[in-house]
Amino acid sequence: MSRTVIMRHPTLPPAQEIEVPRDAMAHYTGAGWQQVPAEELEARAELKAKAEAEARAAEEAAEQPPESTEQAEPAQTPEAPAAPTKPARSRAKAPENEAGEN
């Protein structure tokens, strides 16, 4: 059995919970705190375990090498080479002639 309990207060948002020592539960109950039902905590634990298992399965699937695609796809013919393009114009300043002519 756990030494702590999960409690929430009815005037606070439902997601705002505290974990307190089981021995101090009477003190918090007197202040209006209520123990979260065990069924709710179990359901959360199951959802969390399921999500973690799915995440592990996804990681394992991502780590495995992909299947060979050569059999699934027909061989593709290489594309024609692209038409030659004119070289880009340089933005560098053209060197000046020794005579200063430009």
Residue 88 domain-assigned (yes or no): no
Check: CB of residue 16 under 8 Å from CB of residue 36: no
Check: CB of residue 30 under 8 Å from CB of residue 58: no
Per-residue pLDDT at 84: 67
Residue 48 domain-assigned (yes or no): yes
Residue 94 domain-assigned (yes or no): no
Q: How far apart are CA 76 and CA 18, in angstroms?
A: 62
Domain count for the chain:
1
Residue 42 domain-assigned (yes or no): yes
Domain that holds residue 25: 4-60
* Burial of 18 (C-beta count, 10 Å sphere; 0-12/13-18/19+): middle
In this model, does residue 93 exceed pLDDT 80? no
Mean pLDDT, the chain, rounded, equals 82
Q: How far apart are CA 21 and CA 27, in angstroms?
A: 10
Span 27-54, pLDDT tens digits: 999 999 999 999 999 999 999 999 999 9
In this model, does residue 12 exceed pLDDT 90? yes
